[in-house]
Amino acid sequence: MANSSDLIMLIRSQAIGAVNASNPTAIVYGKVISIAPLKIQVDQKMTLTKEFLILTRNVKDHKVFMTVDHATEYKSGGSGDASFESHNHAYKGKKEFTIHNGLVVGDEVIMIQMQGGQKFLVIDKL
């Protein structure tokens, strides 16, 4: 009969095999080498194309709504006419702004390799 250390080694070996077979998530780093079509190089042998990538808002241009409440700077019209004297304007309300976070060639990114290894979630730029 096997001794207890053999049993422990067998259990350990089976546990490691089960973890490796499940392909857990992993942190991966890459560099954008093309935008159209999107390509991210992970290492010398692996380049990911858009079919394998999921982009978060952190790496895409997107729109946001913000509430503002201020006034423009005072500015004169320059003609000397009284109707063009130095003045400002209120700038209030809910406004839409574009956040320009899109990837560009040369950006270094951090990704999560999804379980199974076929999809990569691009979470942010470095």
What element of type H or E holds 19?
helix 4-21
- Thinking of the domain 23-60+101-125, which architecture would CATH place it in? Beta Barrel (2.40)
pTM metric for this prediction: 0.66
Indicate the pLDDT class of residue 82, thresholds 50, 70 and 90. Answer: low
Cα separation, 55 vs 112, in Å, equals 11
For residues 40 and 109, is the Cβ–Cβ distance under 8 A? yes
Cα separation, 48 vs 125, in Å, equals 16
For residues 123 and 56, is the Cβ–Cβ distance under 8 A? yes
Radius of gyration of the chain measured on its C-alpha atoms? 27
The one-letter amino acid at 18: A
Question: pLDDT tens digits for 61-70?
Answer: 999 999 988 8
Query: How many residues are present in the chain?
Result: 126
Cβ contacts of residue 72 below 8 Å, gap of 6+?
88, 89, 91
Question: pLDDT tens digits for 20-52?
Answer: 666 678 899 999 999 999 999 999 899 999 999
